A and B are shown apart, each in its own frame.
Chain A
Amino acid sequence: MTEKKWPETWQEVNPGCMVFRPGSASEYHTGSWRAKRPIWDNAKCIKCGVCYIYCPEGCITENADGFFEANMDYCKGCGICAYECWPKAIVMVNEED
C-alpha cells in the first residue's frame, strides 16, 4: 500500500496507526546525539567483530576488506566498541563543532 512518510492530516493516518514500512526508524538519524565518535586504526584491527556484535545500534558493519566501520548517521557515541576492542584498534574522539 502507498503510505505517506509523515501524515499531515487525519485522513493520512493509517488505520490503527499501523506501520507498513519495516525498519523505517532508520529514517531518523540518531548520529546527531553523539558527543564522541569512534575512530578505527585498521593497523591494530584483528577483524574479530567484537565491535560489531556489541553495538546497541547495529550500525557497525564489515566492509569489503573485512574491517569494521560505524555508520555515523546512527552511531550515538556510546563508546562500547572502543572499550571492548581488546587490541585497542578503536579510540573515541570528541566531535568537533
Chain B
Amino acid sequence: MGKRIGMEIALAAAEVAALCRPDVIAAYPITPNTHIPEHLSDIVAEGRLDAEYICVESEHSAISACCGASGTGARTFTATSSQGLLFMQEVLPIVSSLRLPVIMVIGNRAVSGPINIWNDHSDIMYQRDTGWVSLFAANGQETVDMVIQAFKIGEHRDVMLPVNINIDGFQLTHVVEPIIMPDQEEVDRFLPPYKPFAQLHPDKPMTMGALGLPEIFNEAMRAKDEAILQSKKVVLDVWKEWEKQFGRKYEPIESYKTEGAETLLLTMGSMGETAEIAIDELRKQGVKAGLLKIKLWRPFPFEELRKAVKGAKVLAVMDRAVSFGGPGGPVFAEIRSALYDEPKKPKTLNFIIGLGGRDVMVEDFIKMAKKTALTKKLKPEDAYEIYGVRE
C-alpha cells in the first residue's frame, strides 16, 4: 500500500519515475529540474533501480540518447527545464515522429533573456506543436500520479508517443508537500512491462528515421496528427483506470465552483490552487465566479472546454507566456480558436501573469476576476494585458 509522505516534489518525481522501472535515464542538470536527475542517479547508485543512467553532456544529447535507447525497446525517462528544453527542441518533434514513448518531466521555467531561472510556461509553449502528449500538474500529488500515467499513455499501442509532464519550477519542484506515494506493487499492477512496437535489433533489422519525400510527407504528418488526436481516448481510459485503482480522479479540464458561474478564470499548473482560494473569496463576496484548470494540454480537449464554459458570460484566460506580437498568450489563442464557431460563447480576455517567477497572489486573482466580470466590450487590441506591469 502506498503511504502518505512529505517530500520535495522533484524528489518525489524521481522516486516515482524509478517505481516505473525505466531501463535508461539520460538527463542533464538545469535549474529547477536538477533534483530529479540527481535523485534518480542516487537511486541507481544505491542499486534500488536497475537502469543505465547516462550522464550526458547536454540536453540535446539527453533527448537524443533517449531516442536511441527507446529505439532499442528500453523504457526511457528524462527531465529538463527552460533553455534545456529549447536545446532539445530540434529532437522533440523527431521523438514523436519516430513514435518513441520517451517520458519527460519538465520543471517549467522562463526562457532567456534576460536570463531568469524562475517559473513560467514559456519553455513548454515553444514546444507546443512538437507532437508530444502534454500534461500539466497543479501539485505534488498530480506530479507523482501523472508520471506513472504518462508511461501507460505513451506506451499504449494506440498512442506510441512521447509524453511530457509539466510541473512549475520552484513553485512545485522545490516545494515539500504531503504526497501519497504508491508502492512498487501498486505501480506494477497499474503499469505493465513495456512491449515495444519495434526494436533496433539484428534479429529483425528495421529502419527508423527514414527520409520522407513530398509524395509521402502529408500522409506521414496526417498519421502523426491522428495518433495524437486519438491518444485522448487512451488518456481518458488511463485516468478512469487510475481512479478505479487509486481513487483520485483526473479530467482534461477540471472545474472548480463553476455551477452558475458567470465569470470564469482558466489556469494551467500550480496557480490553479491560488486561484481556487480567490474563487472562494469571490463567492463569499457574491461574485458568481468559477475556475477551470487545464490538465491535458495536448491533445487539446476541445469538447471538454466547450462544455466547461457553457453558461458563462466572460472567461479570463491566465497565460504564463507571451506570444510576442501575436494575439495574446498561447493558451488564450487556443481557447479563442476553440470557441470561435460556438453560437453562444463567453467574451474572452487574457491576463499574462507570473512571468519569470513574479508572484501572483490571491488578491491579484480577485482583481483580475473583478475586472473580468465588468468587461463589456473589448477591442481586439485590448484583449490581453501583461498583468501587474509597473508603468
On whether the beta carbons of A20 and B223 are closer than 8 Å, the reply is no
Q: Say which residue of A11, A18, A22 sits within 8 Å of B208 (CB atoms).
A: A18
Contacts of B97 in A (CB 8 A): 16-17
Interface string of B222-252 (1 = CB under 8 A from A): 1100110000000000000000000000000
On whether the beta carbons of B212 and A17 are closer than 8 Å, the reply is yes
Contacts of A2 in B (CB 8 A): none
Contacts of A18 in B (CB 8 A): 98-99, 198, 206-208, 210
Count how many chain A residues have C-beta atoms less than 8 Å from C-beta atoms of the other chain.
13
Q: What are 5 sample pairs from A and B whose C-beta atoms fall under 8 A apart?
A: A10-B220, A10-B222, A13-B220, A16-B100, A18-B198
B339 to chain A, nearest CB (A): 29
Q: Is B115 among interface residues, defined by CB-CB distance under 8 A? A: no
Q: Is B214 among interface residues, defined by CB-CB distance under 8 A? A: no
A12 to chain B, nearest CB (A): 8
Chain B: residues with CB nearer than 8 A to chain A?
A: 97-100, 160, 197-198, 204-210, 212, 216, 218-220, 222-223, 226-227
A73 to chain B, nearest CB (A): 21
On whether the beta carbons of B207 and A19 are closer than 8 Å, the reply is yes
Contacts of B100 in A (CB 8 A): 16
Identify 5 new A-B residue pairs, CB closer than 8 A, beyond the known A7-B219, A15-B227: A10-B220, A10-B222, A12-B219, A13-B223, A19-B206
B391 to chain A, nearest CB (A): 51
Contacts of A9 in B (CB 8 A): 219
A81 to chain B, nearest CB (A): 28
Contacts of A19 in B (CB 8 A): 206-207, 210
A37 to chain B, nearest CB (A): 28
Q: Give Cα distance in the complex from A50 to B208, angstroms.
A: 33
Q: Give Cα distance in the complex from A29 to B287, angstroms.
A: 74
Q: Give Cα distance in the complex from A3 to B280, angstroms.
A: 58
Answer whether A16 and B219 are a contact pair too, CB < 8 Å, given A10-B226, A22-B205: no
Contacts of A16 in B (CB 8 A): 97-100, 160, 198, 208
Q: Give Cα distance in the complex from A12 to B119, angstroms.
A: 43
Nearest opposing residue in chain B for A14, CB measure: B223
Q: Give Cα distance in the complex from A71 to B243, angstroms.
A: 63
Interface string of A3-39 (1 = CB under 8 A from B): 0000101111101111110100000000000000000
Answer whether A17 and B210 are a contact pair too, CB < 8 Å, given A7-B216, A9-B219, A10-B219: yes
Q: Give Cα distance in the complex from A9 to B97, angstroms.
A: 17
Nearest opposing residue in chain A for B218, CB measure: A10
Contacts of B99 in A (CB 8 A): 15-16, 18
Q: Give Cα distance in the complex from A17 to B138, angstroms.
A: 36
A90 to chain B, nearest CB (A): 33
Q: Give Cα distance in the complex from A18 to B205, angstroms.
A: 11
Q: Give Cα distance in the complex from A13 to B216, angstroms.
A: 8
On whether the beta carbons of A13 and B208 are closer than 8 Å, the reply is no
Contacts of A13 in B (CB 8 A): 216, 219-220, 223
On whether the beta carbons of B206 and A17 are closer than 8 Å, the reply is no
Q: Give Cα distance in the complex from A9 to B210, angstroms.
A: 18
